[in-house]
């Protein structure tokens, strides 16, 4: 039930904001709006105010604004309050305002989330200098070594770990060029990212980790860690000579050795030490009796700084969205990464369970995607209608109905193919359905 309600809320808000943009712009330029509907039929609530019917449909999968004389095949009277009676500039304002409102909503929601305060891994904004190369990983097979500075992925520069992980994550099972800086020399490498774990979404990984390590937050009195001499604020560098990067690596290493001695390499007051400890057996797993934390930074910006960071982040995300779209065209990006309504519903439910901040973050991301995708020059979308008007402006004449119908049909085919792809992807992420797909 939480998933359904969260999905209806997220999609309802995004569609409402999008259609509200069209509605307000239409009113502003003097177009008569016949209907403003949120959701699809059957209609649940409907009322009239002035010339407009306002209604809510039972299916929260979209919405629309119907304007007088909007389509060439509508019965038109030539009145000045009809859509096609307006100038191309006025029609452009009406069409563009839907996507603009979604992009604006993404900026506002991101600002709200940032203003609440954000805690993130400290390495994310640091240069991508390799700390650990996972044994047997694509990176190890491509002669990428600890200490290498990754400078580019697929010909595009990466300045932070966050940028690097996003660039690699969008290219699973596809060979990609990596640029390295080693001892002052630039070295090219070819590597094919593999898919991370059993994630529902195909995320590429080459097996490189930053040079960070978890620290001990607290020690349980009388536990195995205290007996071994482990103290709060100790930084765990390795277990049995295997490097430890994140807290979950340490938890896994401890859990594998119940009632078995392990050797921890730690950093205490700037000095390396080795400590022998024997995890206690709890069930089938080992426990040391410590609380572990990763190295994080907390950001609590003011309103102005939150707005600035929001703009910067959304510009970066927009760039990534366009790169992904271009990657789909050039086949550098896997279409399996696309998600549809089922996946959005799942993510909405999971985010709602984490709280309002997580849900607002998801809404911001989807809203930005919705706004940018609607600007694509594909007939049927807002950007497609704008594109057609632009071509008519360049040709200094309006296209015939037959030409427009062919263009809209082509756009419809593209959108239909995209919908089939994302729905197929969604179904493959549901385990019990995937079992009926022997080709997977």
Catalytic residues: 19
In this structure, are residues 208 and 130 in contact, taking their beta carbons and an 8 Å threshold? Answer: yes
CA distances from 263 to 189, 236, 238, 253, 255 (A): 35, 11, 8, 11, 14
Rounded (5°) CA angle 12-13-15: 65
In this structure, are residues 263 and 288 in contact, taking their beta carbons and an 8 Å threshold? Answer: no
Backbone phi and psi for residue 131, each to the nearest 5 degrees, phi listed first: -100, -40
Reading the block at residue 254, the tokens are 């401890």
Rounded (5°) CA angle 423-192-347: 30
In this structure, are residues 268 and 277 in contact, taking their beta carbons and an 8 Å threshold? Answer: no
Distance CA(336)–CA(86), nearest Å, equals 42
- Roughly what angle, to the nearest 10 degrees, separates helices 2-28 and 356-373? 50
In this structure, are residues 323 and 170 in contact, taking their beta carbons and an 8 Å threshold? Answer: yes
């Amino acid at each position: 039930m939480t998933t359904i309600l969260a999905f209806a809320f997220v999609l309802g808000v995004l569609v409402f904001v999008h259609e509200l943009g069209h509605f307000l712009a239409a009113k502003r330029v003097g177009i008569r709006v016949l209907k403003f509907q949120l959701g699809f039929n059957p209609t649940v609530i409907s009322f009239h105010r002035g010339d407009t019917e306002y209604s809510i449909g039972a299916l929260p999968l979209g919405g629309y604004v119907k304007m007088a004389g909007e389509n060439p095949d509508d019965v038109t009277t030539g009145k000045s309050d009809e859509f096609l009676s307006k100038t191309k500039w006025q029609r452009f304002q009406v069409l563009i305002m839907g996507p603009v409102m979604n992009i604006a909503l993404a900026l506002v929601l991101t600002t709200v989330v940032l203003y609440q305060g954000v805690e993130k891994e400290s390495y994310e904004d640091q240069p991508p200098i390799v700390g650990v190369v996972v044994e047997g990983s694509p990176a190890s097979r491509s002669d990428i070594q600890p200490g290498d500075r990754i400078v580019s992925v697929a010909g595009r520069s990466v300045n932070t770990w966050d940028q690097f992980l996003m660039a690699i994550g969008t290219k699973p099972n596809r060979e990609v060029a990596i640029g390295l800086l080693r001892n002052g020399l630039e070295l090219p490498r070819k590597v094919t990212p593999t898919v991370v774990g059993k994630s529902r979404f195909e995320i590429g990984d080459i097996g490189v980790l930053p040079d960070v390590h978890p620290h001990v937050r607290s020690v349980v009195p009388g536990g195995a860690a205290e007996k071994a001499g482990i103290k709060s604020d100790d930084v765990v560098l390795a277990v049995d000579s295997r490097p430890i990067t994140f807290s979950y690596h340490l938890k896994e290493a401890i859990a594998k050795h119940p009632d078995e001695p392990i050797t921890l390499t730690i950093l205490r007051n700037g000095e390396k030490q080795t400590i022998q400890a024997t995890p206690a057996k709890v069930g089938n797993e080992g426990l040391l009796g410590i609380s572990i934390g990763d190295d994080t930074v907390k950001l609590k910006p003011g309103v102005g700084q939150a707005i600035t960071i929001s703009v910067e982040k959304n510009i970066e995300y927009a760039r990534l969205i366009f790169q992904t779209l271009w990657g789909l065209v050039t086949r550098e990006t896997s279409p399996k990464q696309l998600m549809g309504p089922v996946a959005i519903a799942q993510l909405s439910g999971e985010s709602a369970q984490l709280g309002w901040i997580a849900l607002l973050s998801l809404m911001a991301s989807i809203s930005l995607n919705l706004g940018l995708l609607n600007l694509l020059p594909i007939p049927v979308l807002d950007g497609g209608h704008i594109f057609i008007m632009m071509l008519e402006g360049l040709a200094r004449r309006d296209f015939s109905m037959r030409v427009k119908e062919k263009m809209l049909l082509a756009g419809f085919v593209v959108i239909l193919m995209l919908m089939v792809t994302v729905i197929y992807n969604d179904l493959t992420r549901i385990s019990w359905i995937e079992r009926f797909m022997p080709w997977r």
